[in-house]
Amino acid sequence: MSEVQLIQAEALGKPGGHYSHAASAGGLVFISGQLPITAQGHKLSGERFEVQAAQVLSNLDEVLAACGCGRTDLVQVRVYLLSVEDWPRFNTLYAEWIGEHRPARCVVPVPALHYGLALEIEAVAHARREA
């Protein structure tokens, strides 16, 4: 039976709430929701959607790296968008970011996100090694 291992992505600083950047158990890594917030804690609320999306994907890369994983280890990705109108732009940016790999994914429009941000992404990845 595997233990739960809690993982902090040092490059992102300490999470703002009572959670870990990721938790690993049973050969999977569960990545907490990533918002468009820089490692220095700057919330990108006033920035264009593309800038916010790039920050979220960069944060996701940092968490994957801290877990010993990469983009091609992603099994499922959940995207929460403040505006469904941003779906086509997000889909293009996401495809450029992830390349040919196509994990399961859902995109959910939501009425609000913390700090007035435009998107949040959470994910599940296959663990290459015990983190």
DSSP state of 32: E
User: What burial class does residue 36 get, using C-beta atoms within 10 Å of its C-beta: 0-12 exposed, 13-18 middle, 19+ buried?
Assistant: buried
In a domain, 96, yes or no: yes
pLDDT in tens, 4-27: 999 999 999 889 899 999 999 999
Is pLDDT larger for residue 16 or for residue 120?
120
For residue 131, being part of any structural domain is answered with: no
User: How far from chain centre, in Å, is Cα 97?
Assistant: 12
pLDDT in tens, 80-104: 999 999 999 999 999 999 999 999 9
Residue 118: inside a domain: yes
Q: Among candidates 82, 30, 99, which has minimal Cα distance to 60?
A: 30
Q: Which of these, 17, 31, 28, 13, lies nearest to 77 by C-alpha position?
A: 31
Residue 60 has pLDDT above 50, yes or no: yes
Question: Is the residue at 103 inside a domain?
Answer: yes
Best CA proximity match to 61, nearest among 44, 85, 39: 39
Domain for residue 33, yes or no?
yes
> How many structural domains are present in the chain?
1
Asked if 70 and 98 count as a contact pair (C-beta separation under 8 A), the reply is no
| Residue 18 resides in a domain | yes
3-state secondary structure of 121: strand
Asked if the structure places residue 71 within a domain, the reply is yes
Residue 128 pLDDT grade (very low, low, confident, very high; cuts 50, 70, 90): confident
Site of tokens 């293009």: 92
**Full domain range(s) for residue 41:** 5-126
Three-point CA angle 65, 80, 33, nearest 5°: 35
Residue 27 lies in a domain: yes
Q: What CATH number does the domain containing 57 carry?
A: 3.30.1330.40
